[in-house]
A and B are shown apart, each in its own frame.
Chain A
């Protein structure tokens, strides 16, 4: 036990100065990367708040928060002193840097070393516009006062209830994200649509919630009725011209999809939304909250859409909406939980199924609303979810640390690409004239003369072959490493990943794999229903490929959940816990390992095929070790062996960085730091799998 050598000084907390020192070091480094200068060009709220001010508040506020949080029980004066001291000192460091920069003859030497540095003093970025001789000082003073002020404010805020604090922080964070992404999410949904959807949902919710003695069916009927009423209102508004481009509730026709539907489908959609609102009253609390957050998000999208870039008014509105949707469920949840608990078990299951179906429906219509950019990000997230589930078989279940997962991904992608484009595999030895302009025929001349080719396949024919190729390759790659344990296995698989990179890039494989030019164009998948009188659907955009990804994710989740409880899943877990004991219990290690290799490679191959079809071309640069690392990180961050963990991990590690493209290189820095911090705070992952119940307890027992 450590005994403090000297009593802590009365007013100054012993954490204050060390924390401030570390924060100051980080602050100096970040400033030297030119963060403030680079962020100044990015507006969060047009003309009001640029990103560098957000960064300033963060770098001053976060350390101050860590200083005052342990003092939550201390008297206000002590908290104020420590908080203001920390914030003020940090601001002083920053002010010193600005001062030094302002007094330098030229910053050439500085920029030689720190290439990204942007001067701060001429524009008065951090000094309230004060710049130039003599004028810098008032600005610096203001900067220091700002720091102290932020610290003092946090010192006072630390006593606020947790709900208020978290709401404030999350709403502010969402506001910044929405502000940065305003241009990308502009096309998501129009304000009238958002309002109609929200009113219908909450109408259904309200009717069902306060219906006297409402059973399931009565509530459902109430919700549907609310939807009908909403539909009627919209009908009146549309017919009255209020929703026309120059009407009362003017909507941008380009993003108005719901309101331009024919009357009957529109009415049906609204009835369904009302029904969902009614069933929400009976749902489990988590779903319940998710429903409200979704509604709040929709309205916020609508508000943003109405104004283009974020301005003062929309910023305030967005902030209020987020705060509202975060706080509202706190009042409504206890009632919902009570409603949920009051249901008989059979009905509870039915209701939850309905809600899940509703969620699925939302998932399916999402790309219609979300627009190209966000759907693209979602596609990427789902790509990584499929791979994460596949890798989970290896790492989470079978306990084999695979660092070369990208190899299977690449094999799937290249196999599918080769089978669906003109190549030596599909066309064989064709006369040069007939394939003029295509690159891949030369190979035939020497190696396999007379090979007729198998003909160009469609995506759907190639997909199973690609998956099969990937699974076989995974098994083949697994053979040499079968007997290796632990880290030897890891480094050899890392080697496989690097070998993939070398092979796809090498000049000797160029006739087949295209070297650095890769293979393109790959034809997009087509769903041809003309044989049964249906349409021909081209899956040629992010929004349509989305459905392939949804299918892939659902398939992967289905396969994994079925496997997890099966004999194979249990054998894998036994193998992971102790190989020797598992073998003694009759687990065939070789067979089980090979099966794990094959299955996990099959999932990677599937996502590879999807990936190529989505990008319409594949290039060696897409298959770097970063893919392996990303997948591994996301399953460990999420919690090894857990499917919700994979989804959350993918959203965090793939979705978030993609969404924060505005932050450029800083997002990768943040990615690295996030990996470290997440592991330090939650070594078991964000959502670790629930401990498995090994045997069902005897009925009536445990009394």
Chain B
């Protein structure tokens, strides 16, 4: 095809382009047509809701912020799914238990520090230490999983490791239940003030004191767009820390030797092995990375959700897997975006559509199904499907 031979493209208005896209999408299959009808119905009910004044910007902002922090935890877990899938093409069903283990062992660490008073003297240090303990616990569980349940089955039919993963998931859950009991553990309440003397000022007995902003347990009323909105700084902290961790991961995968090896193994295991890459080591590394992110995510999740139970991993786990699929499984930016997207959608949508909050899981999976109708490979999923096909 030569560039010169291309006929001049007639200028098209944006409207006609949009129409074209819509028609293309709706008319290609009856299913898509139905999907579009459904989307229009949803949009209509959302608009009705806003017009009727049932839904205000105030609600939107606070839900959006909550959704972002929830979504960043989903993203951290989703990265673990997507990394493993990218290399082994298997669903690591036990990843939700890796997450749970991080939160649980993190609890014992933070509880011990709470008892000894360290948590209140050196709060920042203690929190970092808790996150590190959570990450370590998750990594240990993931390493055991890989060694016992997955490695011996690397060449087995694809359903077999799935069943061992399910089995391992049940076993870990029940083991934690038997070891640590079924009653929920509650993370201690903790306050960490930043910017003392500058922010968080109030009048106490007529004197202006500025203890700073409590970024863990604080709740502040902030004036935003003319609305008085109650904000928990912890949401921003979770979002910020998650983004930092994801940035580190991104750097690791793109810039380091091991990261390069990981990408090579994901591309083609056999060729990578011929090039002198230790495939087993790379796979172990992948599990370690995914588990470390999940462990950190677990402690962050527990810091604002507070309760920890042996069954806490399940729902965030499948939500995270859903976000990994939404973003295009096997794709790292896809998992990050998918997590944030799902978090925001499931926190904003129910009340926008006038549904009770109970139905947020319905919204999350409904989103997944709608996405699968229009983009069966996920948002960023093109690359991997081409390779696999």
Chain A positions near chain B (C-beta within 8 angstroms):
29, 32-35, 113-116, 395, 401, 479-484, 486-488, 490-492, 494-496, 498-499, 501-503, 505-508, 625, 629, 632-633, 636-637, 640, 665-666, 668-669, 671-676, 679-680, 683
B203-246: CB near A (< 8 Å → 1, else 0) gives 00000000000000000000000000000000000000000000
Are A675 and B179 also in contact (CB < 8 A) when A499-B365, A636-B159, A668-B170 are? no
CA of A668 to CA of B168, assembled, Å: 11
Instruction: Report A-chain residues with C-beta under 8 Å of the C-beta of B170.
Output: 629, 668-669, 671-672, 675
Contact B362 A491 (CB under 8 A): no
B167 within 8 A of A: yes
Contact A676 B149 (CB under 8 A): yes
Closest to A114 in B: B179
Are A495 and B179 also in contact (CB < 8 A) when A480-B31, A490-B91, A506-B359 are? no
Are A672 and B356 also in contact (CB < 8 A) when A499-B366, A665-B177, A683-B156 are? no
Given A488-B377, A672-B174, A674-B167; 15 other pairs, CB 8 A cutoff: A33-B175, A401-B159, A480-B31, A488-B329, A494-B318, A495-B369, A507-B356, A632-B166, A633-B166, A671-B167, A675-B168, A676-B164, A679-B161, A680-B164, A683-B153
CA of A491 to CA of B153, assembled, Å: 22
CA of A666 to CA of B175, assembled, Å: 8
Closest to A112 in B: B111
Contact A498 B318 (CB under 8 A): yes
Are A481 and B372 also in contact (CB < 8 A) when A502-B358, A676-B149 are? yes
B11 within 8 A of A: no
CA of A502 to CA of B350, assembled, Å: 13
Residues B126-169 near A (CB distance < 8 A): 148-149, 152-153, 156-164, 166-169
Contact B322 A491 (CB under 8 A): yes
CA of A671 to CA of B149, assembled, Å: 14
Instruction: Report A-chain residues with C-beta under 8 Å of the C-beta of B178.
Output: 33-35, 116, 665-666, 669
CA of A32 to CA of B180, assembled, Å: 9
Contact B159 A640 (CB under 8 A): yes
Return B87 CB to nearest CB of chain A, in Å. 14
Contact B362 A672 (CB under 8 A): no
B304 within 8 A of A: no
Contact A683 B160 (CB under 8 A): yes
B193 within 8 A of A: no
Contact B175 A29 (CB under 8 A): yes
Nearest 4 pairs of A and B residues by beta carbon: A115-B181, A675-B167, A672-B171, A672-B170
Contact A636 B321 (CB under 8 A): no
CA of A505 to CA of B356, assembled, Å: 12
Instruction: Report B-chain residues with C-beta under 8 Å of the C-beta of A508.
Output: 355-356, 359
B352-389: CB near A (< 8 Å → 1, else 0) gives 00011011011001101100110011100000000000
CA of A636 to CA of B314, assembled, Å: 22
Contact A629 B166 (CB under 8 A): yes
B348 within 8 A of A: no
Give the residue of B152, B157, B168, B359 whose beta carbon is less than 8 angstroms from that of A672. B168
Contact A495 B171 (CB under 8 A): no
B14 within 8 A of A: no
B325 within 8 A of A: yes
B187-213: CB near A (< 8 Å → 1, else 0) gives 000000000000000000000000000
Q: Which of B89, B166, B173, B314 lies at the interface centre, i.e. has the most chain A CB atoms within 10 A of its CB?
A: B166
Chain B positions near chain A (C-beta within 8 angstroms):
31, 85, 89, 91, 108, 148-149, 152-153, 156-164, 166-175, 177-183, 314, 318, 321-322, 325, 329, 355-356, 358-359, 361-362, 365-366, 368-369, 372-373, 376-378
Give the residue of A113, A482, A484, A633 whose beta carbon is less than 8 angstroms from that of B167. A633
Are A483 and B376 also in contact (CB < 8 A) when A506-B356, A633-B163, A676-B167 are? yes
Instruction: Report A-chain residues with C-beta under 8 Å of the C-beta of B321.
Output: 491, 494
Q: Is the interface of A mostly helix, strand, loop or mixed?
A: helix
Return B109 CB to nearest CB of chain A, in Å. 12
Contact B325 A491 (CB under 8 A): yes
Contact A495 B368 (CB under 8 A): yes
Give the residue of B182, B356, B362, B373 whose beta carbon is less than 8 angstroms from that of A499. B362
CA of A64 to CA of B159, assembled, Å: 33
Instruction: Report B-chain residues with C-beta under 8 Å of the C-beta of A35.
Output: 178
Are A679 and B174 also in contact (CB < 8 A) when A115-B183, A116-B179 are? no
Give the residue of B162, B168, B180, B366 whose beta carbon is less than 8 angstroms from that of A114. B180
Instruction: Report A-chain residues with C-beta under 8 Å of the C-beta of B149.
Output: 676, 680
CA of A33 to CA of B177, assembled, Å: 9
Return B364 CB to nearest CB of chain A, in Å. 8
Closest to B370 in A: A480
Contact A505 B163 (CB under 8 A): no
Return B311 CB to nearest CB of chain A, in Å. 11
Contact A675 B358 (CB under 8 A): no
Give the residue of B89, B181, B314, B322 whose beta carbon is less than 8 angstroms from that of A495. B322
Instruction: Report A-chain residues with C-beta under 8 Å of the C-beta of B372.
Output: 480-481, 484, 488, 492
Contact A680 B365 (CB under 8 A): no
Are A675 and B166 also in contact (CB < 8 A) when A115-B180, A502-B361, A636-B160 are? yes
Instruction: Report A-chain residues with C-beta under 8 Å of the C-beta of B159.
Output: 395, 401, 636, 640
Are A675 and B164 also in contact (CB < 8 A) when A488-B325, A502-B361 are? yes
Return B367 CB to nearest CB of chain A, in Å. 9
Give the residue of A113, A401, A636, A676 whose beta carbon is less than 8 angstroms from that of B171. A676
CA of A668 to CA of B170, assembled, Å: 7
Return B115 CB to nearest CB of chain A, in Å. 10
Closest to A664 in B: B178
Return A249 CB to nearest CB of chain B, in Å. 46
Instruction: Report A-chain residues with C-beta under 8 Å of the C-beta of B179.
Output: 29, 32-33, 114, 116
Contact B365 A495 (CB under 8 A): yes
Closest to B167 in A: A675
Return B237 CB to nearest CB of chain A, in Å. 28
Instruction: Report B-chain residues with C-beta under 8 Å of the C-beta of A506.
Output: 356, 358-359, 362
CA of A482 to CA of B31, assembled, Å: 10
CA of A495 to CA of B183, assembled, Å: 28
Instruction: Report B-chain residues with C-beta under 8 Å of the C-beta of A487.
Output: 85, 89, 91, 325, 329
Return B102 CB to nearest CB of chain A, in Å. 17
What would 21 A/B residue contacts be, using CB atoms closer than 8 Å?
A: A34-B178, A114-B180, A115-B180, A115-B182, A395-B159, A487-B91, A488-B372, A488-B376, A490-B91, A492-B369, A495-B365, A495-B368, A506-B358, A633-B163, A665-B177, A674-B167, A675-B163, A675-B167, A676-B164, A676-B167, A679-B167
CA of A115 to CA of B310, assembled, Å: 13
Instruction: Report B-chain residues with C-beta under 8 Å of the C-beta of A34.
Output: 178
Instruction: Report B-chain residues with C-beta under 8 Å of the C-beta of A629.
Output: 166, 170
Contact B358 A480 (CB under 8 A): no
Contact A637 B169 (CB under 8 A): no
Return B160 CB to nearest CB of chain A, in Å. 5
Return A666 CB to nearest CB of chain B, in Å. 7
Closest to A506 in B: B358
Return B156 CB to nearest CB of chain A, in Å. 4
Instruction: Report A-chain residues with C-beta under 8 Å of the C-beta of B377.
Output: 488
Return A32 CB to nearest CB of chain B, in Å. 6
Instruction: Report B-chain residues with C-beta under 8 Å of the C-beta of A395.
Output: 159
CA of A502 to CA of B361, assembled, Å: 7
Instruction: Report A-chain residues with C-beta under 8 Å of the C-beta of B355.
Output: 508
Return A465 CB to nearest CB of chain B, in Å. 25
Return B181 CB to nearest CB of chain A, in Å. 3
CA of A114 to CA of B185, assembled, Å: 12
Contact A492 B368 (CB under 8 A): yes
Contact A113 B153 (CB under 8 A): no
Return B77 CB to nearest CB of chain A, in Å. 14
CA of A671 to CA of B171, assembled, Å: 7
Instruction: Report A-chain residues with C-beta under 8 Å of the C-beta of B153.
Output: 679-680, 683
Return B354 CB to nearest CB of chain A, in Å. 11
Give the residue of B160, B175, B180, B318 whose beta carbon is less than 8 angstroms from that of A679. B160
Closest to A667 in B: B174
Instruction: Report B-chain residues with C-beta under 8 Å of the C-beta of A484.
Output: 372, 376
Instruction: Report B-chain residues with C-beta under 8 Å of the C-beta of A490.
Output: 91
Contact A113 B108 (CB under 8 A): yes
